[in-house]
Amino acid sequence: MSVHDLATLTRISARWIAALEQERFEQLPATVFVVGYVRNLARALGVDPSDLLSRYRAQRQTQDAALLTAASGGDRFETAMRQRKYLVFTVLAVAVGLLALLGLLLQRRPG
């Protein structure tokens, strides 16, 4: 099955699927989203989601450990920028969630 076929079937961006396939974890969104992507991809491929998730987590830990080792050697700026990107993304996701909740509360309010 091609990346495009999987993207169409699962409604996951082909960019995310390709990044997962090529183990370019630093290009993926927050882990909470990736876990959902891995589960959906496993189901689409007829594979046990828990097995695929454990493989993803193990590979991610290995890669993260390598990044931390490299960062301690002098590449701290890139690591700081990557962490900042994740922080900004998380803050935006929380803000959108809060705005959606506020919108629901205002709609239900008797007027």
Residue with the bigger pLDDT between 65 and 45: it is: 45
Sign of the dihedral defined by the CA atoms of residues 40, 43, 49, 55, in that order = negative
- Least confident window among 5-9, 12-16, 82-86: 82-86
Count of Cβ atoms closer than 10 Å to residue 58 Cβ: 10
Count of Cβ atoms closer than 10 Å to residue 37 Cβ: 19
Among residues 93, 101, 95, 1, which one has the least CA distance to residue 41? 1
Burial 9-27 (b: 16+ CB within 10 A, else e): ebebeeebbebbeeeebee
Show Cβ contacts of residue 34 under 8 Å, excluding neighbours closer than 6 positions.
16, 20, 25, 28, 56
* In the chain, domain spans: 1-73, 75-111
Does the pLDDT at position 40 exceed 80?
Answer: yes
Give the domain 1-73 fold. 434 Repressor (Amino-terminal Domain) (1.10.260)
**DSSP conformational letter for 92:** H
- Check residue 111 and give its pLDDT: 60
pTM over 0.75: no
Length of the chain, in residues: 111
Query: Whole-number mean pLDDT of the chain?
Result: 87
Q: What is the pLDDT of residues 56-103, one digit of tens each?
A: 999 988 888 877 776 565 567 777 788 888 899 899 999 999 999 999
